[in-house]
Amino acid sequence: MLLSVIIVLTLLSYTCGDNPAIQMILTNKGLQYGKQTSVGWIQGKLGSLTVPDIHGGVDIGIGTVYYTLTGITVTKCDFPEPSVEFAPEVTGFRTSISGINLALTGQWFNQFGIIHDSGSFQAAIISVDVTSVLELGRDPDGHLSVDSASCDAHVGNVDVEFYGGASFIFQPFVDHFRGRIRAEIEMKICPAVKESILNLEYHLQAMNVSFDINQVLTLALPLTDSPLMDASSLKLCLKGEFYSINNPVEPPFEAQRFTMTEQSAYMLSVGLSEYSLNTASYGYYSAGFLQVLINDSMIPHISPVRLNTSYMGQFIPQLPKMFPGLLMTLQVYATEAPMFSLHPDAVKLCSQVAVKAFAIQPNGTQTPLFKLSVDSKFSGKMWIASGRLKGSMTMDNLTLTLASSEVGMFETDALQNMARTGMKFVVLTKLNDKLGKGII
């Protein structure tokens, strides 16, 4: 069954301290899906339940009959569907099961003075009800923590039949055994429930709160707050900050507060804020990934644009006169991390890039020619398809200015037009191809 998840890019309200950049809301629909998957697991556990031996003695007036019930195994188990609901009063889940029925078999031994006797028995445990309340919290490292808030177990009735030996002598004590077995089982249920909760807690504590997304970025996902709950949903606030794995520095901007509304049609909603996207961008930037060297051999042969000083003469007339017939290289790098901003209908992206142009001398020396600043603005959309976050980008504007020049001043309008065309038809076409295949 496919989990139905929505990722919403959320809008900001106002700045504040240690704010979460990712929020997750689990709805009742999601909770019920989780229940279905756990039922099978619990049934498996019950099947392998071992019931400890029961020992005791009954005073029959002329002495005491000592007995042992041993080798008790579960032969049949009816496990009705439990109910699971949010328990906002403790920020947790309340699970109730009523009407579990079990069939058991085992051996009995008894001793009265020097007389020993033994045989087998069958027991039915009827109408077992268990209610467990699990409480959620957050530990200082930001792990989700679980604890047992309360547990109640009630066994409705127990029937025992003894076979073999002089079991007719034994039968009068059945009422006594009934009570004993009932009490024994009742006493064992809640400790077993608490033990599985403790086991879950142990696994949660051992979980990492950071995950490597790829070879460049890691995503920190500790809880920033205790889980929040109302009658119909559970909300988790997560740090949601990306870091460069090799150069994990804090970005020069802070997370802003954002609110996300419950999407009850979905099992799980995940809200990403601008901050989360921008830390990813800053992570790539600080890892040194946002730079590229472009040379003529990387430009397709069919392209009319060539990276050589003769071709560039049409934009910079003095260039072929100063450096005739030389190939060029362009060093393109982000001068700042590209920044995302989220709007109701689109994701906006601003990038500032510098382009340094060099002429390659016949002896291989690269002679600096000029440096351009390119500011571009893009709009994009993101969506989820086939379980992946996908997107598309369009260019809103691109302005190109001359930042410095070793070859004198020149007009940049024609170059800007060429850059706009190149961005639209070459860069964005390739990028959209990638984004269309999925980002994460």
Ligand X SMILES: *[C@@H]1O[C@H](CO)[C@@H](O)[C@H](O)[C@H]1NC(C)=O
Residues of this chain that interact with ligand X (CB under 6 A) are 208, 295, 297-298, 306, 308, 310-311, 325, 327, 361, 363, 365, 397, 399
Minimum distance, C-beta of residue 346 to ligand X, in the bound complex (Å): 15
Question: Could you give the 3-state DSSP secondary structure of residue 148?
Answer: strand
Cα(244)–Cα(219) distance, integer angstroms: 9
- The residue ranges of DSSP E strands in 113-222, in sequence order, are 115-138, 144-163, 210-212, 217-220
Token pair for residue 198? 């403790």
Q: Which of 99, 103, 94 is nearest to 81 (CA)?
A: 99
Taking CA atoms, 329 is separated from 326, 353, 368, in Å, by 10, 16, 10
User: Is there a contact between 310 and 325 (Cβ–Cβ < 8 Å)?
Assistant: yes
Tell me the CA distances in angstroms from 174 to 109, 143, 158, one per residue in order. Answer: 14, 50, 10
**CA–CA distances in Å: residue 56 to residues 59, 62, 156:** 10, 17, 22
Structure tokens at 401: 């200015």
CB of 326 to ligand X, least distance (A): 7
Q: Distance between CA atoms of 366 and 440, rounded to whole angstroms?
A: 39
State how far the Cα of 288 lies from the Cα of 266, in Å rounded to an integer: 38
Which pair of structure tokens corresponds to residue 378?
């893009």
